[in-house]
Structure 1
Amino acid sequence: MTLELDTVRIEDLIPHKGGMCLWQNVEAFDDEHVMLSTNSHKDSDNPLRSEGELRAIHLCEYGAQAMAVHGGLLARAGGEARKGYLVALRGVDIRVPRLDTLHGALQCEARLLMNSASSQQYAFRLLHEAECIAEGRAAVMLAPIGESDESSS
């Protein structure tokens, strides 16, 4: 991979824009994984908040967006970006009740487990201060070739 990570705009890689683009920094990536970081969980205007709180169930959205960022990075490095639809979450283990009470940055590693013409499977782990706060697996159904969207995966 030959991308300058400090010049990558995550909003250019995924369909989520503005406050719904949850990740702020790409730390590392290769053909099989991506590592991201963010402080978006501390934003009082985070669109996932309800009743002033950001519940930990939203870590699944952080994981799904990490997968989309990985797909966008692969496309930018010479592959093809394909629109994807999250169809299943498996083995999700969330270890904190809320995100807005966490003071440090969040990190996520998403690892591509399986890649076929019609679907992908990823494992994701979310970390706060080097401690795993959530992990799981997700399945994505890919749109047929020809329905590509350069900003999503």
Structure 2
Amino acid sequence: MLTLPGDAEAVARLVPHAGAMCLLDRVLHWEEARILCETARHRDPTHPLRRDGMLPSVCGVEFALQAMALHGALGQGAAQRRGFVSSLRDVALHVPRLDEVPGPLAVEAEALVAEASGFIYRFAVRGAGATLLEGQAAVILA
């Protein structure tokens, strides 16, 4: 089992994303079925998902997907292999954009199903004392 990644470089070694697309700064808590991460990258004016000068809240789904990949990597003790989103369900966007949220975002994912071929998670992204978006994602691993 891996130790808890304490910084963005350690996180980047475990997720199948590179460079600026590694969106999480650190893991705050990890257990068998749940992970809680933190990031302040939503405020970065050069964020790779920004469009027309803003970061739409739907981009928070990618933050959650990376938390899921990180959770899988911690559970298997090795970097997570690439995956493909097969479905998103019950996604609720409670704010129009993320870049205006002050302070860090908390990104939480809870495994509902985890198998060698893929996984299903419930997720939520919170900031400034509110839930910003939430939903469920299924990922098929390559």
TM-score (norm 1): 0.84
Greater radius of gyration (CA): 1
C-alpha RMSD of the superposition: 1.9
Structure-2 change in CA distance of 1:81 and 1:53 (3 Å): closer
Gaps of 5+ in 2: none
The structure in which a higher percent of residues are strand is 2
Alignment correspondent of 2:109: 110
Q: Is the 8 A contact 1:112 1:122 kept in 2?
A: yes
Pairing 1:56–2:95 present: no
Map of 1:71 onto structure 2: 72
Task: State the secondary structure of the residue aligned to 2:29.
Answer: strand
Identity %: 36
Gaps of 5+ in 1: 144-153
SS of 1:6's equivalent in the other structure is: coil
- Which residue does the alignment assign to 1:39? 40
Q: Distance in 1 between matches of 2:65 and 2:35?
A: 12
Amino acid at match of 2:35: V
Q: Distance in 2 between matches of 1:4 and 1:50?
A: 33
Instruction: Give the total of aligned pairs.
Output: 141
* 1:140 match: 139
CA contact (8 A) 1:24 1:38 kept: yes
Judge conservation of contact 1:94–1:135 (CA < 8 Å) in 2: yes
Contact 2:113 2:119 in 1 (8 A): yes
Q: Which residue of 1 aligns with 2:6?
A: 6
CA deviations 1:71-123 (Å, max 9, x no partner) are: 111122xx784432211100000100011111111011100001234331100
Q: More displaced, 83-92 or 27-36?
A: 83-92
Instruction: State the secondary structure of the residue aligned to 1:9.
Output: helix
2:88 maps to 1:89: yes
Q: Deviations over 1:23-60 (max 9, x none)?
A: 00100101111100010000010000111111111011
Distance of 2:99 and 2:113 partners within structure 1: 33
Q: Which residue of 2 aligns with 1:25?
A: 26
Instruction: Tell me which amino acid in the other structure corresponds to 2:40.
Output: N
